[in-house]
Amino acid sequence: MRRFFPPLQNTAWLALLFFFVAIAIYSPILLQQDLDYDEGINLMKALLFQRGYALYTEIWSDQPPLLTALLAGWFALVGDSVLAGRVLILAFAAGLVWTMHNALYRHTSGLAALGAVALLLFSQEFIRLSSSVMIGLPALALAMVALWLLLRYRDTDRGIWLALSAIAMACAAQIKLWAVVAVPAALLYLLLSDAARPHAVRISRRTLLETVGWLIVTGIGYVVIGFVFGALRMDQLIAPHFDADTRTAFLYTNNLLYLRYAMQRHIPYLLLALVGVIWAARWRQMEIILPLVWFGASVVALAVQRPLWHHHITLFTIPLCWLSAYGIQAGVQVVQSIAQTPQKSRGEILRTYGLCVLATGFLIAILFYPAPIYALIRQESHSNLPIYNRQMVDHLRQDVQSAPGIIFTDRPFYAFQVHALTPPETAVISRKRLQSGDITDDMLVQMLEKYAPPYLVLERFTSIYGENFLRMVHDRYSLRFEVDSSQYYVLNY
């Protein structure tokens, strides 16, 4: 197949070129404001960790530790800045693009692999999330690496690839636990791909040992990383996400509406993927198990996830783009077949041209549905950003430079920008923690008494804070600056 497109051989560098051109044109990476509220949380956790605070015992966190540790190490090398953090995430996104291309190139063609990369760049929120200091995309990038290494293992039969795959999956789960949605895909591929080989009549004992061994190494890797960082804390890592108060604080119907919108946004992808699944089944392309099972598991997980945010969508768009590549390959193979055997019957022409026309039609639809793709990417990359108060940051920077001190804020991005710390217990202060009762009025009062932070910035949750906390703020602090919903207080001495 690859020889049919000789100029497209070894197209990994072209895939990376496409990625960086798209980033240069559409990415908000250079914006000084936060692209999502979670950016400030992740940046502040890394800054606190770099300054010597311990995760989970001092820094409250409901997420695994690996990205926080990587960001802290990265800041130690290049300095703590928003751009530095975004560049690290960009490197993960580039690795995801490179890995997806290579996983497809070995089993389809250079054109199909490049097509999958283009579809990924066109997909909802991908450009924006490639530039945001958030944990989802790095976790899925490592999950993609783990699945690609399984393909390498099946191609070469070298055990080192199997072991590295398990380690990569363990690392992915220690960035964000939702990466385990890809684990069923890995297990089914290991079990079924070997059984589908010529002369294999059933799942062999060796295949079972490979599968169980991969799962055991993944589990051991996860536990070891968790032990090193003290991250075996189910009270912080698991309970907050499944607590009844957390799940009832958000409307389930809103989740389903958002998931339906995301599906509608990707209707041409879904149809192209369907063509690909039919083609792969016809030609016994067993590697399609990986994206197919990953996609199915992701849709189920997102359907029950509460709350569902925009950055969760990549959980299914990444395997969907992988599946869509097989639809592109169906068209490539049709063109190849016609070129090699031009004399065909009418029935054969209709069957072969039908697949090609379907794949081409769905690809064209992606460029214009639900809007011209260039406008859609720009809108998704730059719209619905948090309201950013530059004046607030300027006031904070001026005061912190003259009198350094801790800043209590529900917008830790502001504190990070002026290189100040927040109390580690409230580095992660979110609507979920407040509405579920994980952060109480009494806890906030105790925090003010413990740290006596000289600066307070209240912005996001002023309508949720309790009476005792607000009374202490008004008694002990003076309002220095107010703009829109942001209030900046300084301690009375």
265's tokens: 């946004």
In 56-204, alpha helices (H): 66-78, 82-105, 110-122, 126-129, 136-156, 159-173, 183-195
pLDDT at 1: 42
Could you tell me the residue range of the domain that residue 291 belongs to?
A: 54-382
CA angle 287, 292, 296 (to 5 degrees): 155
Residue 7 pLDDT level (bands cut at 50, 70, 90): very low
**In angstroms, rounded to a whole number, what is the distance separating the alpha carbons of residues 230 and 49?**
13
Are residues 416 and 369 both part of a single domain? no
Per-residue pLDDT at 469: 95
Tally of domains in the chain: 2
Hunting for tokens 């720009």 — which residue is that? 378
pLDDT at 4 over 50: no
Q: Are 357 and 396 part of one and the same domain?
A: no
pLDDT at 352 over 80: no
> Do 275 and 156 fall within a single domain?
yes
Instruction: Tell me, yes or no, whether 438 and 349 share the same domain.
Output: no
On whether both 182 and 135 belong to a single domain, the answer is yes
For residue 351, pLDDT beyond 70: no
Q: What is the pLDDT of residue 134?
A: 97
Residues 293 and 199 in one domain: yes
Classified as helix, coil or strand, 413 is: helix
Q: What is the pTM of this model?
A: 0.92
Looking at residue 6, its pLDDT comes to 42
Residue 2 has what pLDDT?
A: 44
What are 344's two structure tokens? 């065909």
C-beta neighbour count of 369 within 10 angstroms? 17
- Segment 204-219, tens digit of pLDDT: 888 999 999 999 999 9
For the chain, the straight-line distance linking the first and the last C-alpha, in angstroms and rounded, comes to 76
Q: Residue 376 has which token pair?
A: 């859609």
Share of the chain above pLDDT 90, in %: 69
If asked whether residues 312 and 451 sit together in one domain, one would say: no
Task: Summarize the confidence of residues 226-252 as an average pLDDT.
Answer: 71
Residue 36 has pLDDT above 80, yes or no: yes
Q: CA-CA distance, 356 to 331, in Å (whole number)? A: 4
Model confidence band, residue 344 (pLDDT cutoffs 50, 70, 90): low
Separation of alpha carbons 330 and 320, rounded Å: 16
**What angle (nearest 5°) sits at the alpha carbon of residue 145, between those of residues 139 and 146?**
90
Domain identity same for 185 and 234: yes
Rounded to an integer, the average pLDDT of 351-372 is: 75
What pLDDT score was predicted for residue 334? 72
Q: How big is the chain, counted in residues?
A: 493
Whether residue 29 lies inside any domain: the answer is no
Could you identify the residue written with the tokens 């989740």?
255
Domain end: 382, 400, 416, which one?
Answer: 382
Q: Are residues 237 and 167 in the same domain?
A: yes
Q: Is the pLDDT of residue 198 over 70?
A: no
Which of 382, 406, 423 is the endpoint of a domain? 382
DSSP-assigned beta bridge partners for residue 487: 458, 482
Whether 378 and 399 share a structural domain: no
Whether the per-residue pLDDT at 267 is higher than 50: the answer is yes
pLDDT in tens, 38-83: 999 999 999 999 999 999 999 999 999 999 999 999 999 999 999 9
Q: Are residues 276 and 357 in the same domain?
A: yes
Q: How far apart are CA 369 and CA 375, in angstroms?
A: 11
Quick: pLDDT tens for 454-493: 999 999 998 889 999 999 999 999 999 998 889 999 999 8
Same domain, 156 and 251: yes
